[in-house]
Amino acid sequence: MPFLKVGVENTSDIHIYYEDLGSGKPVVLVHGWPLNGASWERQTSALLAAGYRVITYDRRGFGRSDKPSTGYDYNTMASDLSQLISALELKDAALVGFSMGGGELARYMSKYDDGKVSKLCFISCITPCLKKTTENPEGVDAKVFEEMKQKIEKDRFAFYASFFPSFYGKKMLGGNDVSSEVIEHSAHVASMASYDATLWCIDAWLEDFRGDLATIKVPTLVIHGDTDLTVPYAASGERTPKFIAGSTLYTVEGGPHACIWTHATEVNKQLLSFLHGEKPLVVK
């Protein structure tokens, strides 16, 4: 199993776990909270079938990566991504981020990009600025995130039981017919993440990425479900293209936060069309 050293804490090295599959142009998939790189399985399969080289990795603190007590800020997490791109000597790569993974994309492009990345895709991402303030009134009230942290501090395993049905837009909420097994599996995966990573990543979500997005000059696709209850469409996906010149928004009608699973065929079609450079892209 491949691991990459990205740092040190006291006497222990910090490694992230990654998988590097297929050949062709590289596509790096950056997962969301509180899952791991395996959550991309429906995209990985489609990308490999289309002839791409696919790299997934587990963010520090999640999955099979090491679980240090520090580094759950976007400068550090983007640095981890940068080190992976450099170690694998990737060129002409596409970066695809889901949910909090969009933060790594934005920060990497503003802080570390040196021409190795040629395309970006933000799916259900937290960009451009999730925290509501007087100069960012479209954001989400900070008390929502404090309440999440309080529930995690009290009993994060009980929190997952209520979080994931909304994450997938479970049919009982008036959305998608997602099996209970999918929800149970996600809760199990989340339970394997470290407590520190699960808790402190929430603070990272509140970082302001508007300045980072403005530095992006490569073709960019934004995909977001209009019934996302986790990262609201109006506060995120609908706004992100306004900060990236020439970017394109594709709205998944009826799509929940985890549209990479519930609407995988639709999402994959748009992602592959974008990566292939096919025009016109169908936009809703």
- Catalytic positions are 99, 228, 257
Q: Across-strand partners of 160? A: none
Q: How many residues does the chain have?
A: 284
CA distance 226 to 232: 8
What is the DSSP secondary structure assignment for residue 282, as one 8-state letter? P
What's the gap between Cα 67 and its chain centre?
Answer: 19
- Contact at 8 Å (CB) between 273 and 155? no
Tokens of 76: 């550090």
Tokens of 219: 């073709």
Tokens of 198: 């699960």
CA distance 203 to 194: 15
- Asked whether the bond before 68 is cis by omega within 30 degrees of 0, the reply is no
Burial class (CB in 10 A: 0-12, 13-18, 19+), 80: buried
